[in-house]
A and B are shown apart, each in its own frame.
Chain A
Amino acid sequence: MIHSGNVRAPDEELAMHYAREFYGRRQESHRLWVVARDAITELDDPDLLNPPFDRSFKRPGGYLIKHKLEAAKARANAPAGTEGSE
């Protein structure tokens, strides 16, 4: 389920029609879910979403693997029988 965007409509029926026009008329959708704004449970607490510590390690980009990758490639290309010689 991906959030495609918002529409403004006076009722559910027109909201569905407009969702179809905005997010389905170019055949880019297989299914659409339309939910009224007041039926959405919102989480916007910054302590829960953006805590103050460094969280870069939670993201793939937070790891520097360049050197590890180079070492792994070197090992893979090394002649047979020389693994583990470092």
Chain B
Amino acid sequence: MNDFAHRLPDATREALAELLLAIADDEFVIGFWDSEWTGIAPMLEEDVATSSISQDEIGHARALYELLAELTGQDADEIAFGRRPEAYRHAALMNHPRTDWAFTVARRYLYETADAVRLEALARSSHEPLAQLAAKMRREERYHLMHLDTWLRRLAGSDAARERLAAALRMLWADALAVFSPVPDEELLVRGGELPEPMATLRSRWLEQVSPVLAGLGLPGPTSDDLTVAADDGRTRRTDAFRWLHGEFTMVAASERGATW
């Protein structure tokens, strides 16, 4: 545990650990899903771009797991690879398989825009190591956002692709909102400034930014059902698709527990 961790009351430290785990798992799991495009993306250049962006996300996850490890005295690799699927805390948005290119673009667009709102807030965190990491991540996420924005507008420009995008968005909205599901004991973090604003506030800000963009492209926003779906289990629900991915990304680590590389 480092100095920052020692200064926090136990309950706040536990809540902060839950927050870090949630964000790290989001980045980790979306990084692995989209790395599934390596070799089969729509064109060679996009293959490299998608693979590179996925690698960036896993890099962010690594930095977040290390921050969490400092806070709790655990081992970062053990957190990343040593848990059962049920112990992961990514948003339900990351429960879905890769599916087709339009689906990947739709999911990534929702995630990148939500992540941008979240990182903007976290860059103001009273937990200095988190504020610094969020500021650093934002510099890399800028390009991810640009790239996904380009693809979204591109696909929305043709009828067949727009229809696929729209179908993916309709399927994903409720689960995308889970990116802003409150973390356990969130009020402690808001009081201490570790999380400068409640997730509900960030969620509204995100919807205000994203809804008009999608509407302008003829793409659907969330329905009232999507908006009222219970968010309590937004980060604890797991699917067979995720259990399959978990088997893939833990395969090497599981072959020799505690091995060093």
CB within 8 Å of B: which residues of A? 7-10, 13-14, 17-18, 20-22, 25
Contact = CB atoms under 8 A, between A and B. Distances in A.
Interface in B31-81: 43-46, 48-49, 52
A21 B52 contact: yes
B150 A18 contact: no
A8 B46 CA distance: 10
> From DSSP, what is the main secondary structure of chain B's interface residues?
helix
20 contacts: A7-B45, A8-B45, A13-B150, A14-B45, A14-B150, A17-B49, A17-B143, A17-B146, A17-B147, A17-B150, A18-B45, A18-B46, A18-B49, A20-B143, A21-B45, A21-B48, A21-B52, A22-B45, A22-B48, A25-B52
Contacts of B52: 21, 25
Given A17-B49, A18-B49, A8 B150 contact: no
Contacts of B154: 10, 14
Which of B45, B52, B146, B154 has most chain A Cβ within 10 Å? B45
A8 B43 contact: yes
A22 B44 CA distance: 11
Contacts of A21: 45, 48-49, 52
A20 B49 CA distance: 9
A18 B53 CA distance: 12
Interface in B123-148: 143, 146-147
Contacts of B143: 17, 20
B151 to A, nearest CB: 8
A57 B146 CA distance: 51
A18 B48 contact: yes
B114 to A, nearest CB: 21
Contacts of B146: 17
Nearest to A20: B143
Contacts of B43: 8
B204 to A, nearest CB: 30
Given A17-B143, A18-B48, A20-B143, 7 more contacts: A7-B45, A8-B44, A14-B45, A17-B147, A18-B46, A21-B49, A22-B45
Contacts of A22: 45, 48
B150 to A, nearest CB: 5
Interface string B74-99: 00000000000000000000000000
Contacts of A13: 150
A9 B45 CA distance: 8
